[in-house]
Structure 1
Amino acid sequence: MEKHWLGAWKGLLVGQTSDDCYNTDMDVAATKLSKLIHKFLSLRCAAGKARQIVELMQHTRDLPTILSGVLRTDVVSNTAFLEAVTSQVLEVMPKVKDADLPVIFILDKHLANFPMEQLSVTRDQPVTRVPSLSLLHHLLHLHGLTPSSSQTSPHTSGNRDSSQERSGDKSGDKSGDKSGDKSGDNHHSSKKKNDSEGSVAGNRCDGEDSEVSVAQRGVDPRSVFYVLNPDGDLTHTQTCLQGPYERNKDWQGVTGVVPTAEQYIQALTQHDLYIYSGHGSGSKYFSREEVLKLRCRAVVLLFGCSSVKVDLYRDLDPDAYFYSYLLAGSPCVLGNLWDITDRDIDLFCLELLHLWLAHQGTQPRLSLATLVQKARRVVRIRWLNGCSPVVYGLPMSLNRPNK
């Protein structure tokens, strides 16, 4: 996919870093490139566009394709210009640094079940995904955030706006927008449009008036509700996870039994984090219609098989149970794209919780998407089970509470 679909443009999927020294060096390289473009091609190249070209050059050796595409002029035959760029710009360009600012993929139905997060250029950066731009806007509005928020939304300074838009365009199309709309329409088909998605975005936005959204303050690791092995047949999962879950004295949850509707409502509306360790997404215990009646507060972790798999229906828009969590206000949902083995996903779950809880004292705000990428490394079948977990929704922080 990287070679034949993205080619020299795979760098468009790479996020940015907050390292000031690195950004300064990149600006120096961009300034040199801008001067060379004016000298050899008699073209004026804005600083933002020159910076974009330099960022793309870090991830490919196909300089003629990048320069011709961005500058919209043929530079293949201009060997003097290419040699000058190679000798003067590449020499001062800093080494590639892992991005630490999140990227959000807007994926259409053709790519929704593909692990875009495991491309070589995105593997070491925080990535989340949404099914449509309209749903992303809904979540930002619902949680009182704006696209320029530095902690929980993508970096948007400089020329990265255009490259991130192109990343979304390359990964999705108009059908991606329809997926969010379709979810809202289907789940509220018995109501008028202004009573469905409109009420979610409007009335729920200021729900729980004085409470700050989890998306803004981060997840409190003491406010957790878990559902472990509700069917009672995942013996290894229960043996592996019951101890770690119950050792956290502040956590609430149920093990080996099906939770009641009241417990589900409590988990989603009164806690910061809801963990489900069972078969599938848990939809047979609590339907999407029941979820959509709530104002969900919790970040949702669904460790079951295919828990965030998107169902495709030929020419119709895609659909998925987990959409209901996002539409009901949950800022973030983690789940699996396909069926996985219980032992590997148990290892992933334990590593994810360990990385989060073990570093609370040294790193007060940790990105869930970053920890997910790190936790994949403990999975034994890395390129099958390890690629399955993905994060939908906003780039969430996991916060250390004030004692």
Structure 2
Amino acid sequence: MRDFDAILREQQVVNELTERQAWWQGRRALDARLENLLAKLENDVLGCWKGLLLPPCKDSLLRDALFHEAEVLRDMLTKAGGQVPRVELLQAVLAGSSHLVSHQLQMLSKTLAPADARPSFQRALVAAVARLRKLDMASQHPRGSVVLILDKRLHQLPWESMPVLRESSITRMPCLSFLLATSAQASTAGSVLNTGVNPHKTYYVLNPQANLPSTESTFRQWFESMDGWEGTIGKLPNQQLLQLALSTKDLYIYAGHGAGARLLGIQELPRLSCRAPCLLFGCSSAALTARGSLEPSGIALSYMMAGWRRRRHVHCSYIGGGPRGSSSSFLSPDNSPCPAQRGSGLEKE
């Protein structure tokens, strides 16, 4: 946590640099440090268990193979004596085996198998991993989704940017009750979670403080040309009109500083009945602040209390300074995942 906090502090210093070469040098150094931190988080903290974070496999052939290999390994452990893990745990570990290197497989064997059975178990594990990797590489089925429910300290870390999760669909929820409420809403008639989002019923707020000229120039023509889209550009929206849009539209897009909390008021948000899912492209638009022993709070939670069950937002400040690169990549039809979309911006305002 100290390393990540130091990166965020130094990022603020780099963002204040006015000399272009110094700014780029500082940014590249921070990018490298962040990449190293993510690698340490994945390989040193999670280690051989990092595969447990991966979503379930949707390929029936691969799923059957996972079950078979897990059963074989479990039978070996049963015959060897000692504590035998559940087959579901072995399946989850094997599902992420393509991300494990040799020393992590050794650690897994050391953790699961008794000392006298460890060599034979490790050979069987390596063979199973090799077979599963071939099936995994041939599979064309995408994986499912991961829901992260993190505590007051862990929520600050950019888990979504870890190499093992970069190809996965990630959702953050504050607690299990919110997740259950979202599942219930998905079966409610009239909810966009049930009917789907009509992209022609979109309301946008672009550069409301009128101090992000490059962001405005990037999106103005695009937003204004979209059929059925309404919104404001370069000025503050009317509060009553914005509230009406959130209650009736199918999608809300905000591109400006932060999360646009002042447009509605953080106290007013939870009282609204919002229909529109929102895309928040301001830096730190999802950042939560922990105060003492209390759980973290922030505008993102206020959005959820207002009924916004789906959000795309920026968890931490952009290393590069502006949201334009990530936003345009996300909104583009060709939005294949890349590291820049998961934590570092592409341009400086």
Judge same fold: TM > 0.5, yes or no: yes
Gaps of 5+ in 2: 1-40
Corresponding residue for 2:264? 286
Corresponding residue for 1:384? 344
State the one-letter code of the partner of 1:82.
F
Structure-to-structure mapping, 1:2-401, within 5 angstroms = 2-41=42-81, 47-60=87-100, 61=102, 62-63=104-105, 65-67=107-109, 69=111, 74-86=113-125, 88-95=127-134, 96=136, 100-141=143-184, 143-144=185-186, 211-340=189-318, 344-355=322-333, 374=336, 376=338, 384-385=344-345
Classify 1:3/1:91 alpha carbon distance in 2 versus 1 (closer, same or farther; 3 Å).
closer
Percent identity over paired residues = 27
- Higher fraction of strand: 1
1:320 Cα deviation from its structure 2 partner: 0.3
State the one-letter code of the partner of 1:34.
R
Classify 1:56/1:350 alpha carbon distance in 2 versus 1 (closer, same or farther; 3 Å).
closer
Asked whether the 8 Å contact 2:51–2:93 carries over to 1, the reply is no
Gaps of 5+ in 1: 146-205, 359-370, 387-403
What is the CA–CA distance in structure 2 between the aligned matches of 1:46 and 1:129, rounded to whole Å? 27
Q: Which moved more, 1:255-264 or 1:238-247?
A: 255-264
How many corresponding residue pairs? 300
What is the CA–CA distance in structure 2 between the aligned matches of 1:59 and 1:351, rounded to whole Å? 26
1:267 Cα deviation from its structure 2 partner: 2.2
Tell me, what secondary structure is at the counterpart of 1:94? helix
Classify 1:113/1:88 alpha carbon distance in 2 versus 1 (closer, same or farther; 3 Å).
closer
1:55 Cα deviation from its structure 2 partner: 2.6
Structural RMSD (CA): 2.8
Classify 1:341/1:31 alpha carbon distance in 2 versus 1 (closer, same or farther; 3 Å).
closer
User: Which whole-Å deviations, capped at 9, do the CAs of 1:352-376 have from their partners, x for residues lacking one?
Assistant: 1112xx7xxxxxxxxxxxx5xx354
What is the CA–CA distance in structure 2 between the aligned matches of 1:264 and 1:239, rounded to whole Å? 22
1:385 Cα deviation from its structure 2 partner: 2.9
1:39 Cα deviation from its structure 2 partner: 4.3
Asked whether the 8 Å contact 2:82–2:114 carries over to 1, the reply is no
What is the CA–CA distance in structure 2 between the aligned matches of 1:254 and 1:342, rounded to whole Å? 26
What is the CA–CA distance in structure 1 between the aligned matches of 2:237 and 2:162, rounded to whole Å? 38
State the one-letter code of the partner of 1:385.
G
Classify 1:113/1:304 alpha carbon distance in 2 versus 1 (closer, same or farther; 3 Å).
same
1:260 Cα deviation from its structure 2 partner: 0.8
Corresponding residue for 1:158? none
User: Which whole-Å deviations, capped at 9, do the CAs of 1:199-254 have from their partners, x for residues lacking one?
Assistant: xxxxxxx7xxxx42111232211111000111112111111100110111211111
